Structure 1
Amino acid sequence: MTPDDPDRQSADDAATGDLFSKFDALIAERQALLDTGVRDPFGIVMDEVLSPTLAMIKGKETILLGTYNYMGMTFDPDVVAAGKQALDDFGSGTTGSRVLNGTYQGHKECEEALKAFYGTEYAMVFSTGYQANLGLMSTIAGKEDYIILDADSHASIYDGCALGNAQIVRFRHNSVEDLDKRLGRLPATGGRLVVLEGVYSMLGDIAPLKEMVAVAKKHGAMIAVDEAHGMGFFGPNGRGVFEEAGVEADVDFVIGTFSKSVGTVGGFIVSNHPKFEVLRLVCRPYVFTASLPPSVVATAATSIRKLMHAGDKRAHLWKNSKRLHKGLRDLGFNIATPEAQSAIIAILLPDQAQTVAMWQALIEQGVYVNMARPPATPAGMFLLRCSLCADHSDTQVDQILERFKAAGRAVGAIG
């Protein structure tokens, strides 16, 4: 066998039980893409980050339009100073789980900041937002219980369900009617948890939470809302879509992350349920994971406290989102939502070839966006996903539109 004989290699892999052989089609597809000369859309390296909205990529100053840094807190002077001070005072890490030696004063202060931000009695900080969903879904519902979730739920929600023993029921994306129907078919026995997201990250659409929460309550279900992409700029206090929908009193759990609007890393759950604290003893992704470094929880707590008074930033972010959505639509791009529903704007394209070409043209123009394709999107859906920041200036939004225009015309995406 020669090294350049892929068919023979695949046959030999299958014969020897190579566990990587199941990925051969994906490996070949990726290599064919790279052989065309385009950059790897999933392998971009930020050589230097200049601000929440600018970075150096391959020696070129590039506008960041795909980072989820919604409120621009990554370079906030108070946030950075808090992290530096904690690094000096407490060292680089805890080397332990929250239930052993891994809870420092900073972890408790971060949970206090969350309780103040959300107005709840309880808060639990996890090492990532992924683990927060993994922990709640796998722990709260047993084998006699039901988790009812939107078909477009985030991977962390699905993975949490897979880790647990509950029976899983999916309903059509954002369909109040289908949620009602699915709940109505469940037997009277067993508990039930309806899992919703304030903002769905792929298309940037929001859930009809007011109607969905009413349906869930009608059927006696508990409710969890993931506000990863809504925290910071929805609602009078920036708590999320559930606050804007006026259903705070009816939601049992709010799950979130520090890696979007808060500007660092970590995750959390907040709740008013009187038995909530028992989760610290039974939630495996909390108990068996090393806790966040002191510098990270210090930056998170400082950022969360500042987000409580970020009304001007919220207003500017919404202005940016509406301007970009209208501008792209006026240029002739196919936008996933009829109007700006969140800080995420998804541009739909007909196939992978044009999506990759458009992404490549944009990066050459100095604009970084996210490319998404199946299985991250529904079958046959290819898109470029933009996520705006409160720190994008009016001039930068103008530049983004001009560069989209040039890139779109160059690849035939617009006339």
Structure 2
Amino acid sequence: MTEAISQPHRPDPVPAPLKGERDLFTKFDPLIQQRRELLESGLADPFAMVMEKVLSPVTAICNGRETILLGTYNYMGMTFDPDVIAAGKTALEDFGSGTTGSRVLNGTYAVHRDVEEALREFYGMDHAMVFSTGYQANLGIISTIAGKGDYIVLDIDSHASIWDGCALGQAEVVPFKHNDIEAMEKRLKRIPAEAGKLVILEGVYSMLGDVAPLQEMVKVAKANGAMVLVDEAHSMGFIGPNGRGVAEDVGVIDDVDFIVGTFSKSVGTVGGFCVSNHPKFDIMRLVCRPYVFTASLPPSVVATAATSIRKLMHAADKRAHLWANSRRLHAGLQELGFQLGTKTPQSAIIAVLMPDLERGAAMWNALLREGLYVNLARPPATPANVTLLRCSLCAEHTQEQVSDILEMFEKAGKAVGII
């Protein structure tokens, strides 16, 4: 097997629009030019990497060589769990490859009801609603419960799906500085008392891996008459005594009105969900457009999700091992001299800050040559205009692999001049 990085696809030259014609792609020209310059420097495209074969939750064949995966959201390593795979195979044989319909028509099978029951069991909530993706869960729930005339108060670093849900629902959006309790409270107090108010927070923020001060924020929201939605996409499965996320960990899960999450991270498949104790929540199945007008998930997908969720209820040992991995990698990278996104490990995400996009891309390429895959994240997806390498640890990473990862970072960092 070769260690060479395959040559990336070179984008074609951008033709100039004809005189008098409006080119709808003109607004993307700066990004196209930036990407072209990056590839012309001889680097592989960090946003077009292909895994030729996945060997396990933490290894794959990339560019012809075995590579450690440190850039997936497979936090609990459930993608190759034998029980999860067996459940998917059985459902595929029993129900076929897909439903070809919406949940409100012909798209609800027994396995869809079962995965919602698994979510109710996992969270101890009265209601659970499953969407085809985590993006659609935020898009659907937010746009339906907060509409024109209502107010949404949200963290400025919220995920794109949250912002898009706000836009779709046409509520008045009031952002506040990241994790700033005082700023959130000031904005809530300016909203008319009689208006509908929704505060949206995330348990773990996906770029830096930092945790929200949910205990204080939920208290402030409730004191000001707001409902609270918490996106626990990056904390479900391993944060909290039972893996229910940051809200459980800080003791406010019973005060949160809606918890949104995804199956594409700790659960190890695809799909999104919302759980709630609100007595009227079930009406959402008839009024939430991204739920009503989308084909339901294939039976094999929801069967794997249900099995995985039930196993996560009893995954204390995996959670402990993942935390040990996070603490060790965070401390090791700090000792090597890398600048990290958080002073202490707060989640399974460790962000390694880069001086700029060019050196970030060079570092990404150097790590891939060493046999390590991470995520290169760039503005506008990242906060404060920062370029970073995002490391997402897995409960299946061994101690030896963490040692190897640190050695790879040291070699690549010195080669590129980051450390």
TM range (shorter): over 0.9
Instruction: Please tell me whether residue 393 in structure 1 is matched to residue 398 in structure 2.
Output: yes
Shift of 1:14: 7.0
Query: Partner of 2:101: helix, strand, or coil?
Result: coil
Contact 1:199 1:342 in 2 (8 A): yes
Query: Partner of 2:157: helix, strand, or coil?
Result: coil
Q: TM-score, normalised by structure 2?
A: 0.96
Query: Partner of 2:129: helix, strand, or coil?
Result: strand
Letter in 2 for 1:163: L
Q: Aligned in 2, Cα 1:5/1:59: closer, same or farther, shift over 3 Å?
A: closer
Letter in 2 for 1:302: T
Contact 1:14 1:21 in 2 (8 A): no
Misfit runs of 4+, over 4 Å? 4-7
Instruction: Please tell me whether residue 374 in structure 1 is matched to residue 379 in structure 2.
Output: yes
Q: Aligned in 2, Cα 1:5/1:52: closer, same or farther, shift over 3 Å?
A: closer
Q: 1:48-80: per-residue Cα shift (whole Å, max 9, x none)?
A: 000000000011100000101000000000000
Matches within 5 A, 1:320-335: 320-335=325-340
- Output the CA distance in 1 between the equivalents of 2:407 and 2:327: 16
Instruction: Please tell me whether residue 75 in structure 1 is matched to residue 80 in structure 2.
Output: yes
Matches within 5 A, 1:253-272: 253-272=258-277
Query: Partner of 2:383: helix, strand, or coil?
Result: coil
- Output the CA distance in 2 between the equivalents of 1:299 and 1:397: 28
Contact 1:71 1:262 in 2 (8 A): yes
Letter in 2 for 1:117: F
Q: Aligned in 2, Cα 1:120/1:5: closer, same or farther, shift over 3 Å?
A: closer
Matches within 5 A, 1:174-213: 174-213=179-218
Q: Aligned in 2, Cα 1:314/1:18: closer, same or farther, shift over 3 Å?
A: same
1:155 equivalent in structure 2: 160
Shift of 1:43: 0.3
1:353 equivalent in structure 2: 358
Pick one of 205, 228, 252 that aligns with 1:223. 228
2:320 equivalent in structure 1: 315
- Output the CA distance in 2 between the equivalents of 1:358 and 1:73: 29
Q: Which moved more, 1:161-170 or 1:70-79?
A: 161-170
Instruction: Please tell me whether residue 300 in structure 1 is matched to residue 317 in structure 2.
Output: no
Pick one of 147, 151, 157 that aligns with 1:146. 151
Query: Partner of 1:16: helix, strand, or coil?
Result: coil
Q: TM-score, normalised by structure 1?
A: 0.97
Shift of 1:5: 12
Instruction: Please tell me whether residue 166 in structure 1 is matched to residue 171 in structure 2.
Output: yes
Shift of 1:83: 0.1
Aligned-residue RMSD, C-alpha: 1.3
Instruction: Please tell me whether residue 412 in structure 1 is matched to residue 417 in structure 2.
Output: yes
Pick one of 55, 58, 65 that aligns with 2:63. 58
Q: 1:266-320: per-residue Cα shift (whole Å, max 9, x none)?
A: 0000000000000000000000000000000000000000000000000000000
Q: 1:92-151: per-residue Cα shift (whole Å, max 9, x none)?
A: 000000000000000000000000000000000000000000001110012121111100
Letter in 2 for 1:152: D
Shift of 1:260: 0.1
Q: 1:350-399: per-residue Cα shift (whole Å, max 9, x none)?
A: 11111011000000000000001111113531100000000000000000
- Output the CA distance in 1 between the equivalents of 2:394 and 2:88: 22
Q: Aligned in 2, Cα 1:78/1:177: closer, same or farther, shift over 3 Å?
A: same
Matches within 5 A, 1:9-24: 9-10=15-16, 12-13=17-18, 15-24=20-29
Query: Partner of 1:106: helix, strand, or coil?
Result: helix
Q: Aligned in 2, Cα 1:254/1:14: closer, same or farther, shift over 3 Å?
A: farther
2:8 equivalent in structure 1: none
Contact 1:350 1:382 in 2 (8 A): yes
Contact 2:207 2:383 in 1 (8 A): no
Letter in 2 for 1:161: C
1:242 equivalent in structure 2: 247
Instruction: Please tell me whether residue 46 in structure 1 is matched to residue 34 in structure 2.
Output: no
Instruction: Please tell me whether residue 343 in structure 1 is matched to residue 359 in structure 2.
Output: no
> How many residues were matched structurally?
409
Instruction: Please tell me whether residue 288 in structure 1 is matched to residue 296 in structure 2.
Output: no
2:4 equivalent in structure 1: none
Query: Partner of 1:205: helix, strand, or coil?
Result: coil
Q: Aligned in 2, Cα 1:331/1:121: closer, same or farther, shift over 3 Å?
A: same
Q: Aligned in 2, Cα 1:405/1:94: closer, same or farther, shift over 3 Å?
A: same
1:124 equivalent in structure 2: 129
Q: Which moved more, 1:310-319 or 1:376-385?
A: 376-385
2:6 equivalent in structure 1: none
Query: Partner of 1:125: helix, strand, or coil?
Result: strand
